[in-house]
Amino acid sequence: MKALLIVDVQNDFCPGGTLAVPEGDKVVPVINNLMDSFPLVIASKDWHPKNTVHFKKWPPHCVQNTSGADFHPKLNASKIKKIFLKGTRNKDNGYSAFEATSADLGEFLKEEEVTDLYIAGLATDYCVKATALDADKVGFETFVVEDAVAAVNKKPGDGEKALKEMAHAGITLIRSDEITKE
């Protein structure tokens, strides 16, 4: 069974947000289209307390219960079965959705008999990468949907580098038009 995991498609990571990923919102229509090809769609949210150590490295973003932490308004959130909150504690960076504290993502996917995990969202060079590498490590057949992710690119080329690193780890890079409904 396959599932789609949407990573952090939140206002603060989109243009106008406090940690905007360039063209972060371009993933939204691609993801909305993709949802119909999956029997199970889940999502992660960055969900930080105000005083997290994470904000020593990054501008404050996705603070719990603020509009910056909401999903992008055009994301079709009604199709999302469960949301996994991460980075929820003061000492917790929570890059990977497998570090979510609201529920255990790995356990949930096993219970749902998911074998193939497709990952989309933000950002390629941080949370998407960390999540995909963890998924691969835990034993899921892991796919990253190349046209449904976007990078912070703190240094130019970081996104490309992250994709190469994921491919090297055995993760399959796939385009949304290569994914068929099953």
Active site residue 8: yes
E strand map for the chain: 2-7, 41-46, 82-86, 116-122, 141-150, 172-174
User: How far apart are the C-alpha atoms of 165 and 125, rounded to whole Å?
Assistant: 10
Name the β-bridge partners of 180. Answer: none
Pick between residue 15 and residue 139 the one whose CB is nearest to ligand VGL. Answer: 15
Pick between residue 114 and residue 159 the one whose CB is nearest to ligand VGL. Answer: 159
Answer whether 135's CB lies under 8 Å from 119's CB.
yes
Provide the minimum distance between the beta carbon of 115 and ligand VGL in the complex, in angstroms, as a whole number.
Answer: 25
Residues of this chain that interact with ligand VGL (CB under 6 A) are: 8, 13, 46, 58, 122-123, 126-127, 152
Provide the minimum distance between the beta carbon of 117 and ligand VGL in the complex, in angstroms, as a whole number.
Answer: 17
Provide the minimum distance between the beta carbon of 139 and ligand VGL in the complex, in angstroms, as a whole number.
Answer: 23
Name the β-bridge partners of 42. Answer: 5, 82
Pick between residue 118 and residue 126 the one whose CB is nearest to ligand VGL. Answer: 126
User: How far apart are the C-alpha atoms of 48 and 91, rounded to whole Å?
Assistant: 10
Name the β-bridge partners of 95. Answer: none
Active site residue 127: yes
Pick between residue 139 and residue 164 the one whose CB is nearest to ligand VGL. Answer: 164
Provide the minimum distance between the beta carbon of 151 and ligand VGL in the complex, in angstroms, as a whole number.
Answer: 9
Active-site residue numbers?
8, 86, 127
